[in-house]
Amino acid sequence: MKLNKKKLWITILIISVIILSLFCYLINTNENYEDNLTMKDIENTVQEEINSSPQKTTEEIIEEPQGKCKTEGDLVNFCINYKSCCGTGSTTKECICSHPIVKNCRKQFDTCINDKEQIKIYGKKALMDKCIDENKACCIPYNSISINSDNFKTPIKNNPTIHKICSISSIPNVEEKCMELCSTNPECKAFSVNKGQLVQTYGTCNLYNAIKINQPKIDPLTGKEKETTNADYYIKK
């Protein structure tokens, strides 16, 4: 009887140890599960925040090509290569870069290159090429405009100083270039050319948006008109 009782206690003890071990195992397993679950929640939360936050993208920047001003005073060349030809000040650039045809073509180019819908369709690189081609098509027809000196009255010696649109100088054949720029500019009503005394090919030209003739000065001794300028003044008919 005592032996059976002793065996019973040993059996109960063994069962208790097993139950206790099983209990501890379950507690540790649960804690590990909760820890893992917490880490996953944190990782998921962080990932959601990353996904929901606006991503900074590097915007594609396409620079307009820098052409060369091959011929001084060539309006079409300036029109096509506006950025490089009209980027800095020059006695030549004032009359050419502000010419209505050049300004109109440049306005169309700026509108083309900044069109958001066109950017979506073509992308910035392809759109730049497209706008450049359209700009050339806008500029080149200028060369087909006929210039006729018969559209101007016989020049007189006069050089007004007011109502001036712009000046151009130090280019070959300045008289022809000045007549061309005035003929093709609706705002221009007259121009004057001062070739100077030494170099007749080069000179200074002024374009005017209003007509003004300076009153001639009379020599009191001879009664003749004094020649006070070398400039020839051309007025549109």
CATH number of the domain to which 159 belongs: 3.50.4
- Cite the DSSP H helix spans in the chain: 2-52, 75-80, 82-85, 93-97, 100-113, 116-122, 124-139, 174-183
Q: Are 211 and 235 in contact (CB under 8 A)?
A: yes
Q: Is the pLDDT of residue 106 over 70?
A: yes
Residue 25 lies in a domain: no
Residue 13 lies in a domain: no
Q: Is the pLDDT of residue 165 over 60?
A: yes
- Number of domains the chain contains: 2
Q: Is the pLDDT of residue 31 over 70?
A: no
Q: Name the DSSP letter for residue 207.
A: E
Q: DSSP letters of 48-81?
A: HHHHHSPPP------PPP-----STT-HHHHHHT
| Structural tokens at position 26 | 């379950």
Label residue 64 by pLDDT band (50, 70, 90). confident
Higher-pLDDT residue of 9 and 133 is: 133
pTM tops 0.85:
no
Per-residue CA distances from 222 to 92, 157, 192, 227, 228 (Å)? 41, 19, 27, 13, 15
Residue 69 lies in a domain: no
Q: Could you give the CA distance from residue 114 to residue 108 in angstroms, rounded to a whole number?
A: 10
Label residue 4 by pLDDT band (50, 70, 90). low
| Single residue among 100, 128, 144 that ends a domain in this structure | 144
Q: Are residues 205 and 155 in the same domain?
A: yes
The model's pLDDT over 197-208, given as tens digits with 9 standing for 90+, comes to: 555 557 889 999
End-to-end CA distance of the chain: 146
Residue 19 lies in a domain: no
Phi and psi (nearest 5°) for 165? -85, -50
pLDDT of residue 219: 80
Higher-pLDDT residue of 25 and 102 is: 102
pLDDT of residue 146: 93
Is the sign of the CA dihedral 157, 162, 165, 171 positive or negative? positive
Centre a 10 Å sphere on the Cβ of residue 183 and count the other Cβ atoms it contains.
Answer: 18
Residue 45 lies in a domain: no
Q: Which residues of 118-145 are buried (b: 16+ CB within 10 A; e: fewer)?
A: bbeeeeeeebbeebbeebeebbeebeee
How many percent of the chain have pLDDT more than 70? 73
Q: Could you give the CA distance from residue 237 to residue 229 in angstroms, rounded to a whole number?
A: 23
Residue 59 lies in a domain: no
Q: Are residues 162 and 227 in the same domain?
A: yes
Q: Name the DSSP letter for residue 215.
A: P
Look up the domain containing 199 and give its range. Answer: 149-235
Q: Are residues 109 and 156 in the same domain?
A: no
Q: Are residues 227 and 154 in the same domain?
A: yes
Interval 209-236 mean pLDDT: 85
Residue 184 lies in a domain: yes
Q: Is the pLDDT of residue 37 over 60?
A: no
